[in-house]
Structure 1
Protein backbone atom coordinates (compact mmCIF):
# COMPACT_ATOMS: atom_id res chain seq x y z
CA UNK A 1 0.00 0.00 0.00
CA UNK A 2 1.29 3.45 -0.90
CA UNK A 3 1.13 6.64 1.15
CA UNK A 4 -2.30 7.61 -0.20
CA UNK A 5 -5.42 5.56 0.55
CA UNK A 6 -8.90 6.81 1.35
CA UNK A 7 -11.63 4.89 3.17
CA UNK A 8 -15.01 6.66 3.16
CA UNK A 9 -17.71 5.52 5.59
CA UNK A 10 -21.32 6.72 5.53
CA UNK A 11 -24.39 5.60 7.42
CA UNK A 12 -27.19 6.72 9.75
CA UNK A 13 -26.92 7.73 13.40
CA UNK A 14 -25.83 4.90 15.75
CA UNK A 15 -24.84 2.50 12.98
CA UNK A 16 -21.38 2.26 14.54
CA UNK A 17 -19.52 4.59 12.19
CA UNK A 18 -17.43 6.48 14.75
CA UNK A 19 -16.42 3.43 16.79
CA UNK A 20 -15.58 1.38 13.72
CA UNK A 21 -13.78 4.19 11.88
CA UNK A 22 -11.65 5.07 14.91
CA UNK A 23 -10.60 1.48 15.62
CA UNK A 24 -10.05 0.75 11.92
CA UNK A 25 -7.78 3.78 11.59
CA UNK A 26 -5.86 2.66 14.66
CA UNK A 27 -5.45 -0.88 13.32
CA UNK A 28 -4.31 0.29 9.88
CA UNK A 29 -2.32 3.28 11.18
CA UNK A 30 -4.47 5.69 9.16
CA UNK A 31 -5.65 9.21 10.06
CA UNK A 32 -9.18 9.13 11.55
CA UNK A 33 -11.61 11.95 10.78
CA UNK A 34 -15.09 12.19 12.37
CA UNK A 35 -16.84 14.75 10.17
CA UNK A 36 -20.03 14.59 12.21
CA UNK A 37 -18.12 15.96 15.18
CA UNK A 38 -17.15 18.97 13.07
CA UNK A 39 -20.82 19.79 12.41
CA UNK A 40 -21.56 19.29 16.10
CA UNK A 41 -18.78 21.71 17.07
CA UNK A 42 -20.26 24.35 14.76
CA UNK A 43 -23.70 23.73 16.25
CA UNK A 44 -22.38 24.04 19.81
CA UNK A 45 -20.63 27.32 19.09
CA UNK A 46 -23.74 28.71 17.38
CA UNK A 47 -25.91 27.80 20.37
CA UNK A 48 -23.39 29.23 22.84
CA UNK A 49 -23.27 32.49 20.89
CA UNK A 50 -27.01 32.86 20.42
CA UNK A 51 -26.87 32.37 16.65
CA UNK A 52 -30.05 30.94 15.13
CA UNK A 53 -29.28 27.49 13.76
CA UNK A 54 -31.07 28.36 10.52
CA UNK A 55 -29.16 31.61 9.91
CA UNK A 56 -26.88 30.44 7.12
CA UNK A 57 -25.05 33.75 6.60
CA UNK A 58 -23.99 34.04 10.24
CA UNK A 59 -23.12 30.36 10.47
CA UNK A 60 -20.86 30.52 7.41
CA UNK A 61 -18.97 33.42 9.00
CA UNK A 62 -18.78 31.44 12.23
CA UNK A 63 -17.32 28.37 10.50
CA UNK A 64 -14.74 30.37 8.55
CA UNK A 65 -13.52 32.00 11.75
CA UNK A 66 -13.25 28.92 13.97
CA UNK A 67 -10.69 26.17 14.35
CA UNK A 68 -11.85 22.56 14.61
CA UNK A 69 -9.55 19.64 15.32
CA UNK A 70 -10.82 16.07 15.46
CA UNK A 71 -8.42 13.30 16.45
CA UNK A 72 -8.16 9.99 18.26
CA UNK A 73 -8.07 10.34 22.08
CA UNK A 74 -4.71 10.50 23.83
CA UNK A 75 -3.94 8.01 26.60
CA UNK A 76 -5.06 10.45 29.33
CA UNK A 77 -8.42 11.05 27.60
CA UNK A 78 -9.82 7.53 27.92
CA UNK A 79 -13.22 8.40 29.39
CA UNK A 80 -15.45 6.63 26.89
CA UNK A 81 -15.18 9.23 24.14
CA UNK A 82 -14.91 8.05 20.55
CA UNK A 83 -12.80 11.01 19.49
CA UNK A 84 -11.32 14.16 20.95
CA UNK A 85 -12.83 17.32 19.51
CA UNK A 86 -11.17 20.69 20.01
CA UNK A 87 -13.11 23.86 19.21
CA UNK A 88 -10.82 26.88 19.11
CA UNK A 89 -8.44 24.92 21.34
CA UNK A 90 -11.09 23.89 23.91
CA UNK A 91 -11.97 20.25 24.49
CA UNK A 92 -15.69 19.93 23.68
CA UNK A 93 -15.75 16.17 23.13
CA UNK A 94 -18.67 15.64 25.51
CA UNK A 95 -20.41 18.98 25.12
CA UNK A 96 -21.12 18.24 21.46
CA UNK A 97 -22.89 14.99 22.42
CA UNK A 98 -25.52 16.61 24.65
CA UNK A 99 -29.22 16.46 23.65
CA UNK A 100 -29.41 20.19 22.82
CA UNK A 101 -26.67 19.76 20.21
CA UNK A 102 -28.06 16.44 18.95
CA UNK A 103 -31.46 18.02 18.38
CA UNK A 104 -30.01 20.94 16.36
CA UNK A 105 -27.06 19.51 14.44
CA UNK A 106 -29.06 18.07 11.51
CA UNK A 107 -30.47 21.53 10.76
CA UNK A 108 -26.98 23.05 10.70
CA UNK A 109 -25.66 20.16 8.61
CA UNK A 110 -28.46 20.72 6.11
CA UNK A 111 -27.30 24.22 5.18
CA UNK A 112 -25.53 24.03 1.77
CA UNK A 113 -22.99 26.83 2.29
CA UNK A 114 -22.04 25.58 5.74
CA UNK A 115 -21.40 22.16 4.24
CA UNK A 116 -19.31 23.67 1.45
CA UNK A 117 -16.94 25.33 3.93
CA UNK A 118 -16.60 22.21 6.07
CA UNK A 119 -16.14 19.96 3.03
CA UNK A 120 -13.16 22.12 2.04
CA UNK A 121 -11.63 21.57 5.47
CA UNK A 122 -12.34 17.82 5.32
CA UNK A 123 -10.75 17.40 1.88
CA UNK A 124 -7.62 19.21 3.01
CA UNK A 125 -7.30 16.80 5.92
CA UNK A 126 -7.56 13.81 3.56
CA UNK A 127 -5.15 15.20 0.97
CA UNK A 128 -2.25 12.83 0.26
CA UNK A 129 -2.82 10.76 3.40
CA UNK A 130 -4.04 7.36 4.45
CA UNK A 131 -7.37 8.31 5.95
CA UNK A 132 -10.56 6.82 7.38
CA UNK A 133 -13.28 9.46 7.16
CA UNK A 134 -16.85 8.96 8.33
CA UNK A 135 -20.02 10.98 8.08
CA UNK A 136 -23.20 11.20 5.99
CA UNK A 137 -21.95 12.24 2.53
CA UNK A 138 -18.31 11.14 2.48
CA UNK A 139 -18.74 8.52 -0.24
CA UNK A 140 -20.18 10.88 -2.85
CA UNK A 141 -19.42 14.49 -1.84
CA UNK A 142 -16.28 14.72 0.29
CA UNK A 143 -14.28 11.76 -1.07
CA UNK A 144 -16.08 10.58 -4.23
CA UNK A 145 -12.89 8.92 -5.50
CA UNK A 146 -12.18 7.02 -2.27
CA UNK A 147 -10.44 3.66 -2.64
CA UNK A 148 -13.07 1.96 -0.48
CA UNK A 149 -16.61 3.19 0.13
CA UNK A 150 -18.62 1.67 2.97
CA UNK A 151 -22.21 2.19 4.12
CA UNK A 152 -22.65 0.98 7.69
CA UNK A 153 -26.14 0.23 8.93
CA UNK A 154 -27.97 -1.67 11.69
CA UNK A 155 -31.57 -2.49 12.54
CA UNK A 156 -33.72 0.06 14.37
CA UNK A 157 -33.77 -1.75 17.72
CA UNK A 158 -29.98 -1.97 17.85
CA UNK A 159 -29.53 1.64 16.80
CA UNK A 160 -31.96 2.93 19.43
CA UNK A 161 -30.17 1.02 22.19
CA UNK A 162 -26.75 2.24 21.04
CA UNK A 163 -27.97 5.82 20.86
CA UNK A 164 -29.59 5.60 24.30
CA UNK A 165 -26.39 4.26 25.83
CA UNK A 166 -24.37 7.07 24.28
CA UNK A 167 -26.72 9.83 25.43
CA UNK A 168 -27.26 8.40 28.91
CA UNK A 169 -23.50 8.27 29.52
CA UNK A 170 -23.62 12.01 30.14
CA UNK A 171 -27.32 12.59 30.83
CA UNK A 172 -28.74 10.02 33.24
CA UNK A 173 -32.23 11.51 32.96
CA UNK A 174 -32.71 10.70 29.29
CA UNK A 175 -35.13 7.87 28.51
CA UNK A 176 -35.15 5.30 25.72
CA UNK A 177 -38.32 6.87 24.40
CA UNK A 178 -36.61 10.26 24.16
CA UNK A 179 -33.57 8.69 22.52
CA UNK A 180 -35.84 6.93 20.02
CA UNK A 181 -37.58 10.18 19.11
CA UNK A 182 -34.34 12.11 18.68
CA UNK A 183 -33.01 9.29 16.49
CA UNK A 184 -36.18 9.26 14.40
CA UNK A 185 -36.03 13.04 13.91
CA UNK A 186 -32.35 12.88 12.95
CA UNK A 187 -33.01 10.16 10.39
CA UNK A 188 -35.81 12.16 8.82
CA UNK A 189 -33.67 15.28 8.52
CA UNK A 190 -30.65 13.34 7.21
CA UNK A 191 -32.64 11.59 4.49
CA UNK A 192 -34.81 14.50 3.33
CA UNK A 193 -32.43 17.46 3.50
CA UNK A 194 -31.72 19.22 0.22
CA UNK A 195 -27.96 19.50 0.71
CA UNK A 196 -26.18 16.13 0.49
CA UNK A 197 -28.87 13.83 1.91
CA UNK A 198 -27.89 10.49 3.39
CA UNK A 199 -27.97 7.83 0.66
CA UNK A 200 -26.26 4.67 -0.49
CA UNK A 201 -24.06 5.09 -3.57
CA UNK A 202 -23.99 2.26 -6.08
CA UNK A 203 -20.33 1.41 -5.52
CA UNK A 204 -20.55 1.32 -1.71
CA UNK A 205 -20.12 -1.86 0.31
CA UNK A 206 -23.23 -2.10 2.53
CA UNK A 207 -22.33 -3.66 5.88
CA UNK A 208 -24.97 -4.46 8.53
CA UNK A 209 -23.43 -4.27 12.02
CA UNK A 210 -26.54 -5.36 13.96
CA UNK A 211 -25.11 -8.70 15.06
CA UNK A 212 -21.42 -7.85 15.08
CA UNK A 213 -19.24 -6.19 17.68
CA UNK A 214 -16.75 -3.47 16.82
CA UNK A 215 -13.79 -5.84 16.63
CA UNK A 216 -15.57 -8.11 14.15
CA UNK A 217 -16.57 -5.22 11.89
CA UNK A 218 -13.06 -3.76 11.97
CA UNK A 219 -11.49 -7.12 11.13
CA UNK A 220 -13.80 -7.66 8.15
CA UNK A 221 -13.01 -4.22 6.75
CA UNK A 222 -9.27 -4.57 7.40
CA UNK A 223 -9.26 -7.81 5.42
CA UNK A 224 -11.07 -6.04 2.59
CA UNK A 225 -8.49 -3.25 2.60
CA UNK A 226 -5.70 -5.83 2.53
CA UNK A 227 -7.22 -7.34 -0.59
CA UNK A 228 -7.35 -3.96 -2.32
CA UNK A 229 -3.82 -2.79 -1.53
Structure 2
Protein backbone atom coordinates (compact mmCIF):
# COMPACT_ATOMS: atom_id res chain seq x y z
CA UNK A 1 0.00 0.00 0.00
CA UNK A 2 1.14 3.54 -0.71
CA UNK A 3 -0.03 6.59 1.23
CA UNK A 4 0.97 10.03 -0.09
CA UNK A 5 0.81 13.08 2.17
CA UNK A 6 1.44 16.56 0.80
CA UNK A 7 1.19 20.01 2.27
CA UNK A 8 3.10 23.16 3.23
CA UNK A 9 5.71 23.46 5.99
CA UNK A 10 4.35 23.04 9.50
CA UNK A 11 1.04 21.45 8.50
CA UNK A 12 1.87 18.31 10.48
CA UNK A 13 2.83 16.01 7.61
CA UNK A 14 5.84 14.29 9.14
CA UNK A 15 4.32 13.78 12.57
CA UNK A 16 1.12 12.34 11.11
CA UNK A 17 2.98 10.22 8.55
CA UNK A 18 5.06 8.59 11.29
CA UNK A 19 1.93 7.82 13.31
CA UNK A 20 0.15 6.27 10.34
CA UNK A 21 3.19 4.20 9.41
CA UNK A 22 3.31 2.82 12.95
CA UNK A 23 -0.42 2.03 13.00
CA UNK A 24 -0.35 0.12 9.71
CA UNK A 25 3.10 -1.44 10.06
CA UNK A 26 4.38 0.47 7.03
CA UNK A 27 7.68 2.21 6.34
CA UNK A 28 7.83 5.99 6.66
CA UNK A 29 9.99 7.84 4.13
CA UNK A 30 10.69 11.49 4.87
CA UNK A 31 11.35 12.96 1.42
CA UNK A 32 11.86 16.41 2.89
CA UNK A 33 14.80 15.07 4.87
CA UNK A 34 16.42 14.02 1.60
CA UNK A 35 16.31 17.57 0.25
CA UNK A 36 17.50 18.84 3.62
CA UNK A 37 20.50 16.52 3.30
CA UNK A 38 21.46 18.13 0.00
CA UNK A 39 21.07 21.64 1.47
CA UNK A 40 23.23 20.54 4.41
CA UNK A 41 25.90 19.27 1.98
CA UNK A 42 25.90 22.62 0.16
CA UNK A 43 26.30 24.52 3.42
CA UNK A 44 29.25 22.31 4.31
CA UNK A 45 30.83 22.90 0.91
CA UNK A 46 30.89 26.69 1.02
CA UNK A 47 27.28 27.92 1.21
CA UNK A 48 26.99 28.71 -2.53
CA UNK A 49 23.37 28.13 -3.53
CA UNK A 50 23.85 29.92 -6.85
CA UNK A 51 26.16 27.22 -8.22
CA UNK A 52 23.58 24.85 -9.67
CA UNK A 53 26.14 22.54 -11.26
CA UNK A 54 27.91 21.99 -7.94
CA UNK A 55 24.60 21.34 -6.15
CA UNK A 56 23.72 18.72 -8.77
CA UNK A 57 27.15 17.14 -8.26
CA UNK A 58 26.61 16.97 -4.52
CA UNK A 59 23.18 15.41 -5.07
CA UNK A 60 24.68 12.75 -7.35
CA UNK A 61 27.35 11.91 -4.79
CA UNK A 62 25.08 11.94 -1.74
CA UNK A 63 24.27 8.58 -0.17
CA UNK A 64 21.14 9.06 1.94
CA UNK A 65 19.67 6.38 4.17
CA UNK A 66 17.24 6.03 7.06
CA UNK A 67 17.22 3.94 10.22
CA UNK A 68 13.90 4.59 11.92
CA UNK A 69 13.85 8.31 12.73
CA UNK A 70 17.60 8.62 12.17
CA UNK A 71 18.90 10.15 8.92
CA UNK A 72 22.31 9.42 7.44
CA UNK A 73 24.11 11.21 4.62
CA UNK A 74 27.42 9.94 3.29
CA UNK A 75 27.75 7.51 6.20
CA UNK A 76 27.28 10.22 8.84
CA UNK A 77 24.21 10.74 11.00
CA UNK A 78 22.70 14.17 10.27
CA UNK A 79 19.34 13.81 12.04
CA UNK A 80 19.76 16.97 14.11
CA UNK A 81 21.94 18.93 11.72
CA UNK A 82 19.36 18.95 8.91
CA UNK A 83 16.65 20.40 11.19
CA UNK A 84 18.33 23.72 11.90
CA UNK A 85 16.65 26.98 10.78
CA UNK A 86 19.54 27.61 8.36
CA UNK A 87 19.01 24.29 6.56
CA UNK A 88 15.24 24.86 6.56
CA UNK A 89 15.74 28.25 4.93
CA UNK A 90 17.84 26.81 2.11
CA UNK A 91 16.01 23.53 1.46
CA UNK A 92 13.72 25.07 -1.16
CA UNK A 93 16.82 26.45 -2.94
CA UNK A 94 17.95 22.91 -3.76
CA UNK A 95 14.45 21.46 -4.14
CA UNK A 96 13.69 23.79 -7.06
CA UNK A 97 16.51 22.34 -9.18
CA UNK A 98 15.16 19.92 -11.79
CA UNK A 99 18.14 17.57 -11.81
CA UNK A 100 18.18 17.31 -8.02
CA UNK A 101 14.50 16.46 -7.92
CA UNK A 102 14.90 13.86 -10.65
CA UNK A 103 17.73 12.16 -8.77
CA UNK A 104 15.82 11.99 -5.49
CA UNK A 105 12.49 11.04 -7.06
CA UNK A 106 14.17 7.99 -8.64
CA UNK A 107 15.33 6.92 -5.18
CA UNK A 108 11.92 7.58 -3.65
CA UNK A 109 10.05 5.58 -6.29
CA UNK A 110 12.51 2.70 -6.02
CA UNK A 111 11.99 2.58 -2.28
CA UNK A 112 8.19 2.67 -2.65
CA UNK A 113 8.34 -0.17 -5.19
CA UNK A 114 9.97 -2.44 -2.63
CA UNK A 115 8.03 -1.40 0.49
CA UNK A 116 4.58 -0.44 1.74
CA UNK A 117 5.16 3.24 2.42
CA UNK A 118 3.80 6.39 3.94
CA UNK A 119 5.58 9.22 2.16
CA UNK A 120 5.26 12.93 2.79
CA UNK A 121 6.49 15.99 0.92
CA UNK A 122 5.31 18.61 -1.56
CA UNK A 123 4.84 16.58 -4.76
CA UNK A 124 4.21 13.03 -3.57
CA UNK A 125 0.68 12.67 -4.92
CA UNK A 126 1.39 14.67 -8.07
CA UNK A 127 4.85 13.42 -9.12
CA UNK A 128 6.45 10.77 -6.92
CA UNK A 129 3.50 8.44 -6.31
CA UNK A 130 0.69 9.53 -8.65
CA UNK A 131 -0.89 6.07 -8.35
CA UNK A 132 -0.82 6.01 -4.54
CA UNK A 133 -3.70 4.17 -2.86
CA UNK A 134 -4.49 7.23 -0.72
CA UNK A 135 -3.55 10.87 -1.24
CA UNK A 136 -3.91 13.44 1.50
CA UNK A 137 -3.24 17.17 1.51
CA UNK A 138 -2.72 18.66 4.96
CA UNK A 139 -2.91 22.41 5.51
CA UNK A 140 -3.15 24.85 8.42
CA UNK A 141 -3.25 28.55 9.14
CA UNK A 142 0.23 30.07 8.66
CA UNK A 143 0.32 31.51 12.20
CA UNK A 144 -0.47 28.13 13.71
CA UNK A 145 2.20 26.54 11.54
CA UNK A 146 4.69 29.12 12.80
CA UNK A 147 3.71 28.39 16.41
CA UNK A 148 4.21 24.67 15.84
CA UNK A 149 7.62 25.24 14.31
CA UNK A 150 8.61 27.56 17.18
CA UNK A 151 7.66 24.90 19.73
CA UNK A 152 9.52 22.23 17.79
CA UNK A 153 12.67 24.37 17.67
CA UNK A 154 12.45 25.30 21.36
CA UNK A 155 12.28 21.61 22.25
CA UNK A 156 15.68 21.34 20.57
CA UNK A 157 17.04 24.38 22.38
CA UNK A 158 16.67 26.78 19.44
CA UNK A 159 14.95 30.12 20.13
CA UNK A 160 13.33 31.92 17.19
CA UNK A 161 11.06 34.95 16.97
CA UNK A 162 7.47 33.94 16.04
CA UNK A 163 7.02 36.71 13.49
CA UNK A 164 10.32 35.84 11.80
CA UNK A 165 9.29 32.21 11.64
CA UNK A 166 5.95 33.18 10.13
CA UNK A 167 7.71 35.23 7.45
CA UNK A 168 10.15 32.40 6.70
CA UNK A 169 7.29 29.91 6.33
CA UNK A 170 5.40 32.26 4.02
CA UNK A 171 8.54 32.69 1.91
CA UNK A 172 9.02 28.93 1.77
CA UNK A 173 5.36 28.49 0.80
CA UNK A 174 5.85 30.93 -2.07
CA UNK A 175 9.01 29.13 -3.20
CA UNK A 176 7.34 25.71 -3.00
CA UNK A 177 4.20 26.76 -4.88
CA UNK A 178 5.90 28.77 -7.59
CA UNK A 179 8.90 26.62 -8.49
CA UNK A 180 8.90 25.02 -11.92
CA UNK A 181 9.84 21.51 -10.80
CA UNK A 182 7.53 19.56 -8.49
CA UNK A 183 5.61 22.52 -7.05
CA UNK A 184 3.33 22.18 -4.04
CA UNK A 185 -0.15 21.44 -5.42
CA UNK A 186 -3.41 19.86 -4.32
CA UNK A 187 -4.11 17.06 -6.77
CA UNK A 188 -7.75 16.60 -7.71
CA UNK A 189 -8.08 13.23 -6.00
CA UNK A 190 -6.43 14.30 -2.73
CA UNK A 191 -8.36 14.28 0.53
CA UNK A 192 -7.86 17.78 1.97
CA UNK A 193 -7.68 18.16 5.74
CA UNK A 194 -7.27 21.48 7.57
CA UNK A 195 -5.25 20.64 10.68
CA UNK A 196 -5.73 24.06 12.29
CA UNK A 197 -6.88 23.56 15.89
CA UNK A 198 -6.81 19.78 15.58
CA UNK A 199 -4.72 17.42 17.65
CA UNK A 200 -2.44 14.81 16.11
CA UNK A 201 -4.90 12.11 17.19
CA UNK A 202 -7.85 13.92 15.61
CA UNK A 203 -6.08 14.25 12.27
CA UNK A 204 -4.92 10.63 12.38
CA UNK A 205 -8.45 9.46 13.15
CA UNK A 206 -9.84 11.37 10.17
CA UNK A 207 -7.23 9.89 7.85
CA UNK A 208 -7.71 6.39 9.23
CA UNK A 209 -11.43 6.66 8.61
CA UNK A 210 -10.71 7.05 4.90
CA UNK A 211 -8.04 4.36 4.81
CA UNK A 212 -10.20 1.88 6.73
CA UNK A 213 -13.28 2.75 4.69
CA UNK A 214 -15.21 4.03 7.68
CA UNK A 215 -17.16 7.26 7.34
CA UNK A 216 -15.65 9.97 9.53
Report if TM-score (shorter chain) is over 0.5: yes
The answer to whether the 8 Å contact 1:30/1:131 transfers is yes
Distance 1:72 1:220 in 2: 25
**Per-residue deviation, 1:122:** 0.5
Q: 1:116 aligns with which of 92, 102, 110?
A: 102
**Per-residue deviation, 1:87:** 1.1
Distance 1:173 1:218 in 2: 29
Distance 2:85 2:142 in 1: 19
- Tell me the residue number matched to 2:9: 13
Q: Is 1:172 aligned to residue 158 of structure 2? A: yes
Q: 1:220 aligns with which of 187, 206, 209?
A: 206
- Tell me the residue number matched to 1:56: 52
Q: 1:183 aligns with which of 146, 150, 169?
A: 169
The answer to whether the 8 Å contact 1:54/1:108 transfers is no
Distance 2:210 2:68 in 1: 23
Q: Is 1:27 aligned to residue 23 of structure 2? A: yes
Distance 1:90 1:105 in 2: 19
Q: Is 1:41 aligned to residue 37 of structure 2? A: yes
- Tell me the residue number matched to 1:76: none
**Per-residue deviation, 1:171:** 4.7
Distance 2:199 2:13 in 1: 12
- After superposing on structure 2, the runs of 4+ consecutive aligned residues of structure 1 that deviate more than 6 Å are none
The answer to whether the 8 Å contact 1:123/1:142 transfers is yes
Distance 1:44 1:171 in 2: 19
Distance 2:50 2:111 in 1: 27
**Per-residue deviation, 1:220:** 2.1
**Per-residue deviation, 1:222:** 2.0
Q: 2:111 aligns with which of 125, 138, 145?
A: 125
The answer to whether the 8 Å contact 1:160/1:179 transfers is yes
5+ long unaligned stretches in structure 1? 74-83
- Tell me the residue number matched to 1:206: 192
SS in 2 for 1:188: helix
- Tell me the residue number matched to 1:77: none
SS in 2 for 1:14: coil
**Per-residue deviation, 1:165:** 1.4
SS in 2 for 1:195: coil
The answer to whether the 8 Å contact 1:167/1:179 transfers is no
Question: TM (normalized to structure 2)?
Answer: 0.94
Distance 1:21 1:43 in 2: 23
Distance 1:176 1:61 in 2: 35
Distance 2:86 2:38 in 1: 13
Distance 2:49 2:18 in 1: 29
**Per-residue deviation, 1:60:** 1.7
Q: 1:102 aligns with which of 70, 77, 88?
A: 88
